Structure 1
Amino acid sequence: MPVFISYRHTDRVQAMAINARLTRANIKTYIDVLDAESQTTDDITGVITRRITECTHLLAVVSEHTARSWWVPFEIGEATISNRRICSFKTGTSELPLYLDKWPKLTSDTDISFFIEAYCDEATTKRSMAPGSVNESMRSVYQQNAEFFHNQLKARVRRGY
């Protein structure tokens, strides 16, 4: 159940901090700067698309710099198409795009803790899917489980405990 961390390179410090936090919680992550293939390929789009399908979750670090990025929206779109769990982590003071309202919006270290707990709960109860494609017979169950993950995490973030 790896987590794909999406970010604009100007937000690398925040992305690496989240990566370290998830790694300390024994959550496998993917972040492009630690992937030799993404540093040397001529087909970065293919690599990114494949890496997203190898992950079950996408956590997008979003700031005022993200508005000038093509990659973060592309990665969110790819995660949406492949039915991944999606969350954003807001840094800075800018407002998030309205299309991100569909998924949990994290803004603090406490919210990252809530994400980690929701992720671990999903793994324990086996509501998550294996990375890769979802066959048609499992698509409906997976979508219901994804909605449950998103709704539960959104409610937890809203409550703050």
Structure 2
Amino acid sequence: MPVFLSHRKADKASALKIYAYLEANKIKCYIDEFDEVLQRSKNITDVIMSRIGDCSHLMAIMSHNTSGSWWVPFEVGVASEADRRICSYKIDGVSLPEYLDIWPIMNRPEHLAEFVRLYNNDSSVLLEKSESLRASYASVKSSGDFHRMLKSATGQR
């Protein structure tokens, strides 16, 4: 399932770089810039909630710009309520709100490589490929496993 890339419009360039990296690693992503339905919709909230529902993971791209956003916290909340795999990627030295500490926080390219590795071993992703792959190869069985493993891989507790 795709990764929902949550970001502030001011961070579009960074979001597109992460999008390109994940897509180059064969990870399908959702980014609002490419969603024609969202661009035409009068009910943005329903479209965003639906798109998060179609994704297995949400990566919040965080910067000093994000502090003025209403959408990024909303999207994280929707993903949390839907038990999605959640993480943040800091593109500058911004201090994140305490509530984000429960999920992994990345800030280096090697952290993205760990994200790719765990994504590819995630049961929610392997389920789409085949039931036998899921049973045989999935080391990530739940959102809690994903969060714990990515935190460990990025040196967090």
**Aligned-pair Cα RMSD in Å:** 1.7
Q: Distance in 2 between matches of 1:71 and 1:111?
A: 24
Q: 1:102: how far off?
A: 0.5
Gaps of at least 5 residues in structure 2 are: 129-140
Partner of 1:128: 124
- Give the total of aligned pairs: 144
Partner of 1:54: 54
Q: 1:79: how far off?
A: 0.2
Amino acid at match of 1:128: S
4+ runs of 1 displaced by more than 3 Å?
none
Q: Are the aligned partners of 2:62 and 2:94 in contact in 1 as well (CA < 8 Å)? A: no
Amino acid at match of 1:148: D
The percent identity for this pair of structures is 41
Q: Deviations over 1:25-50 (max 9, x none)?
A: 11111000011011111010010000
Partner of 1:140: none
Q: Please give the secondary structure, in 2, of the residue aligned with 1:47.
A: helix
Q: Are the aligned partners of 2:7 and 2:61 in contact in 1 as well (CA < 8 Å)? A: yes
TM-score by length of 1: 0.85
Q: 1:57: how far off?
A: 0.2
TM-score by length of 2: 0.88
Q: 1:80: how far off?
A: 0.5
Q: Distance in 1 between matches of 2:94 and 2:148?
A: 24
Partner of 1:110: 110
Gaps of at least 5 residues in structure 1 are: 132-143
